[in-house]
Every structure is written in C-alpha cells, then in structure tokens.
A and B are shown apart, each in its own frame.
Chain A
Amino acid sequence: MHKDFKLGKEDINILKGINLDIEQGEMVALLGPSGSGKSTFLNVLGGLVPPTSGNIMIRDYRISEMTENELCLFRREHLGFIFQSYNLISTMTAMENVALALTFAGVKKEIRKERAIEALEVVGLVDRMGHKPSELSGGQQQRVSIARALVNHPEIILADEPTGNLDSKTSADIMEMIYRLNREENQTFVIVTHDPDTTKYCTKVIHMQDGLIESEVSQ
C-alpha cells in the first residue's frame, strides 16, 4: 500500500507542508508538543477535515477529493478510529457499541452480534459485553473502542492519543494489544501520542513541530 500526503498551507497554518509515505503494516507514532498539528494531521488523514490544498491518497483512493458521503462509505470500509476519550455511546452496551459500526454497513443483526463478540474476544472483553460504558473502567472502555475500530476489519486504524487518559500500566496493556494486532492482522496504525513510552512499539516515529515534520525515524 502506498500513501501520499501532500498538505499545503492553511490560513492559520496548522499544517505547513507535510510530505509523508506510510507502508501497509507499519505502526507509526506521531509525536510532538501541543499545537504542533499532529491531531489535525490525523483528522485530515481520516477525512474528518478536508485539507486546504494538497492530496491524500490511500491506496487508489483520493481522500481529499471525496464528498462527505463518499468519505462516510470509505471510513466504514477502510478506516477505524480510536480516541483519547473513547467516544462510546453511553446509552448502549459494549456489544451494541461495537456492533453499531456494522449497522451502518447494512450487516444483518445476527451477523453483527457474532462479529461484535469476535471483536470483543480479541480485546478480551467478552464477559463484559452486556455492560454500559459507565460500568467499565477507562482501560476497558478503550478496549471496547478498539474492538469497535476492529470490527469492520479496516486496513488502517487511526488512534488519537489512545493512552492519554490511562495510567501507565493500562497504557502498556493497550499498546501491547495494538502491537499484537499490528503484527497478527498486518493492520496499519497511525498513533498520535505525546507519551514517549508508546513509541517503543512503533516501526516509525515522526516528530512534528509547528505544522512541519521535524524528524522521521524508522526503528
């Protein structure tokens, strides 16, 4: 898989020209201080905000030229998201949260349940599938959100500070899990973080500063 990121200058110049290739199966860490544009970069990558100028290519898809609806369909099939604040729907159980992504893809109810349970097995939370987010710990909620990101078997998972709200022990568990998925499923991960500990799991570490890539280290 080949990805081209050419981001032009924005008005506030959050991203001031970024050029980056990511190969399939890579696990990329985006590091940088607040305001360096790493989250914005991730959002542009996920098609949540359009770039002011430039191109984003994911495989043969030109993300930057897709309409909102095309982006929805694209995200549904190819992308998974993990957020710092988990972003689970509080009125739904863990299983329903995971299955929700499949609902929009038009998957049948029984198959949705089957696959949601499968995804929860991967993150080790099958015994908690009937619980609502408020009944789960932060680490468990994050694992539910990882299961939700996995359930569509996307090629790419974008994670915005996945361990930001977790203690170091839980953070390590989550990163281990992400690392395992990356190895076993050959899924590409792009992880925004400011925790240097998380970078040790990654194949590539990118430092950002003032909307530009400061350094790009493969390890």
Chain B
Amino acid sequence: MKFRTILTIIGVVIGTSSIIVMVSIGNGAQKSITDELSGIGSVTTLQVYQDLSSMGMTSMGGGKTDDKAILNDDAIKDLKKIDGVVAVTPVVNLSGGEIEVDREQYGVSLMGVDYAVLEDMRYVTTSGKKPGANDENSVILGKDVLTSFTYTGASTQLTESEVKPEDLIGQNITMTIKRTNANGEEEMKTQKLKVTGVLESTGGNEDYSIIADYNLVTELNEWQTGKKANVKKQGYSQALVTVEDSAVVNAVTTEVEAMQFTVFSMQQILDSMGSVFQMLQILLGGIGGVALLVACIGIVNTMTMSIYERTKEIGIMKVIGASISDIRNMFIAESTMIGLIGGLVGIVISLVLSLLINFIAGFFIGGEGGVTISFITPGLVIFALVFSALVGLLSGVRPAIKAANLSSLDAIRSE
C-alpha cells in the first residue's frame, strides 16, 4: 500500500475516532445521569401538586380559590378514574419529630399516605412487610431514616448510625413531637409507632421519612399546628399517583394537567434530559465531524493524485475493454475501502480510548464499579462504520467520474 494512502487512512481514523469518542462522552454523561435519575423514585409514580399559582392565591387572598382546582378527596377520586391509574394517595407531611433509638436521638419526618392503597403503590419493602389497611399505628421506615446529622465542631456531617432500620422491625418506637402553645410554653406529645418493615430505596423523600398512615399524620399535624385541617377547602399539598406502566405516564400527565394540577414525574425529567443530551451529542459529534470533513478532503486529494499518477493505466484499461462504469467503480471501490479501513481502525482505536478515558477518570473520581465517562453503544459503532464508508464513497465519486471520462487515447499517450 502506498504511503500516501496510509496517511489518508490515518486521516479517516482520526476523523472517525474523534466522532466516536466525542459522542461516547455525550452518551456517557447521559447514561450516568439517566441511571441516577431512574433510581430516584419509580418512573411509574407521578407527584401531583395543587397548582402552584392557586397555592399562592390561597395564602395571599385568604382562601379565595373558588375557580381553582383543589387537591381534596373529590379530586383524589377523580384522579383515580383516569385510565391507567392504579392507585392514588394524598400525602401529608409532618416534620420535627424525634425518636430515640439506642440512646441516640434522631430527627424524623413523617410521610402520611393512604394505607388502603399501600398495596397498590409500588413501594417495595426490603425486609419486613407493609402494614395492612387498618394498622394505623404501624409504620415503614425509609432506608436512610436513621442517618442523622451530627454536629462535630463547626461542620455538619452525615453519619451512619450504628443501628440499622432493619433492627427495629417488629419493635415499637416512641416518637416525640413538640409545639409551643399560646403562652409560649413548650408542650410535648409522644406517639408509639410499630415498625413493620423497611422500604427499598426510592431515591426520593421516602428514604429519609417514616411512612405512616395519613390519618395518623393528619391528627399529629393538627395537634402540632393547633388548627383543624380543612382538606375540602384547602386540599392536600401533594398526592401520589401510581400508574400501570411507564407507557401511560405521558397520557396520565396530560389528563392530570387538564385538571389544573401541577404534575411532576421522572418521565418528564428524562424526556427533557433526552433532548438536551441529543443536542449535546449533535454538538460533540459535529466537532468530531470537522475532523472527518478534513479527512474527506484528504481522500479526494489522494484519489485525484492517484488518477494523475495512473492516467496511463486507466488509458490502457479503457483500450483493452474497460467500460466507463468499470473505471468509475474501480476508483469508487478504492476510496470506499479507504473510508472503510479508516472507519474500522478508528472504531478499534476509539474503543481503546474509551476504556482508557474511563480508567483514568476512575482514578480521579473513584467510586465503585468503575466510572462511565465515555460510553460506546453498538449503534454508534455501526453508525461510524457506515458513515466512514459513505464518506469514502462520496469522496471518491468526483475523482472516479474524472477518471472514467479521461480520453483513452490521451491517457495512454501520457507518461
């Protein structure tokens, strides 16, 4: 093989590998973030809030929310009627609780959900079991509920408790909540809770909460604030809607939004992330594409040079019976081979580079199970191969036509 041809192939190799590596970095970023996000909460759970503007109206206008949608029990029933919805529960939160385990104090918050639909919601317990519909005082612990903030000198640190949530299964724990009464005195109330299970990590609020029945949480809330909750008028702050599968998420979201509620789902985030990453990949691929464009010019140059050098050869072939298409195909095949070989070598090099990038990044970032900075999909490999061959083919077209149209007599006379 000619040195010139080898240099041209190297050009294609650089072009192809820069596209692959660039896009693989975009892929890697997308993969690590989507993996992270998919871990947070189930993709089949929608969080429904009262329309944010109506909430604002409530606090400012003193309850003038006549034409605004209120997330009350009627609304919960309506949500339940939407096709594809499996379970709907209001969410009532209580914060400022304290529990004592093994002479350690832990600040906890309660997340009250409807125990009647707990079975239908996709909460999975890693150990223990879920409370039944009537176990009002039974709770499930979030995975990280005993991870407490402790003060060591000036800094706040997250420390792992010696006690695992699993150790508490079957035990009763006592939770204390406080309030300040009208006279400025502090009052305390204790509540016994029976732990029946530990929830698998959802990546959301549940991990740091105690899941309890919403009736209990409402009761405790009323004691803490000293006010009776008017659910009918003010509604719940949040509801969780569990749907059949991820395919219906978007349809349900649209319907819930039509009811003038604000919906938040992991699907929405993944969707918008998807388009951001597509942009990123096009951008990165474009940068790599510049290198391939230069390589493409290199192929045209090499093929044109080759024609000048082989003019006589072309002339001979035409005289002994090569047709125009024979000559044209010969040159196009040659330039396609340059593209293809360059693409293949480029793929091998970028696979090595990708491993190397991840390996080196692993050193600096650390983490278990390796780091994915660069991620090469089979689709990317196939695309790169087809694209490089196509670049070779297209680069060869003009020189090939030029070669095929040489006058055989002039060509054979040239030296």
Is A68's CB within 8 Å of the partner chain B? yes
| In the complex, residue of chain A having the shortest beta-carbon distance to the beta carbon of B326 | A104
How far apart are the CA atoms of A48 and B318 in the complex, in Å?
9
Chain A 63-82 against B: per-residue CB contact (8 Å), 1 yes, 0 no?
Answer: 00000110011011100010
| In the complex, residue of chain B having the shortest beta-carbon distance to the beta carbon of A83 | B412
Using C-beta atoms within 8 Å of the partner chain, give the interface range for chain A: 20 to 34
Task: From known contacts A89-B313, A104-B317, infer whether A72 and B409 are also in contact, taking CB-CB under 8 Å.
Answer: no
| In the complex, residue of chain A having the shortest beta-carbon distance to the beta carbon of B316 | A87
Is B322's CB within 8 Å of the partner chain A? yes
The residue that A105 contacts in the complex, of B315, B321, B409, with Cβ under 8 A, is B321
Distance to closest chain B CB from A62 (angstroms): 19
A148 touches B320 (CB 8 A): yes
Is B130's CB within 8 Å of the partner chain A? no
How far apart are the CA atoms of A152 and B321 in the complex, in Å?
10
A72 touches B412 (CB 8 A): no
How far apart are the CA atoms of A46 and B318 in the complex, in Å?
12
Task: From known contacts A87-B312, A87-B316, A89-B316, infer whether A76 and B321 are also in contact, taking CB-CB under 8 Å.
Answer: yes
Is B360's CB within 8 Å of the partner chain A? no
Q: Contacts of A69 on B, CB cut-off 8 Å?
A: 323-325
Q: Contacts of B324 on A, CB cut-off 8 Å?
A: 68-69, 72
B321 touches A101 (CB 8 A): yes
Chain B 320-334 against A: per-residue CB contact (8 Å), 1 yes, 0 no?
Answer: 111111100000000
Q: Contacts of A73 on B, CB cut-off 8 Å?
A: 321, 323
Tell which of B319, B322, B325, B326 has the most Cβ of chain A within 10 Å. B319
Interface size counted on chain B using CB atoms at 8 A: 17
B residues 280-325 near A (Cβ < 8 Å) are 312-313, 315-325
Q: Contacts of A105 on B, CB cut-off 8 Å?
A: 321
Q: Contacts of B316 on A, CB cut-off 8 Å?
A: 87-89
Is A111's CB within 8 Å of the partner chain B? no
Is A136's CB within 8 Å of the partner chain B? no
A43 touches B326 (CB 8 A): no
Q: Contacts of B319 on A, CB cut-off 8 Å?
A: 46, 48, 75, 81, 87
Tell which of B312, B323, B325, B326 has the most Cβ of chain A within 10 Å. B323
| In the complex, residue of chain B having the shortest beta-carbon distance to the beta carbon of A89 | B313
Is B138's CB within 8 Å of the partner chain A? no
Q: Contacts of B313 on A, CB cut-off 8 Å?
A: 89
Distance to closest chain A CB from B175 (angstroms): 88
| In the complex, residue of chain A having the shortest beta-carbon distance to the beta carbon of B315 | A87
Is B89's CB within 8 Å of the partner chain A? no
The residue that B321 contacts in the complex, of A43, A72, A83, A89, with Cβ under 8 A, is A72
A-B contacts, 7 of them at CB < 8 A, read A46-B319, A69-B325, A72-B318, A72-B322, A83-B412, A101-B321, A104-B326
Given contacts A48-B409, A152-B321, 12 further A-B contacts (CB under 8 A): A46-B319, A69-B325, A72-B321, A72-B323, A72-B324, A76-B320, A77-B321, A87-B312, A87-B315, A100-B320, A101-B321, A104-B320
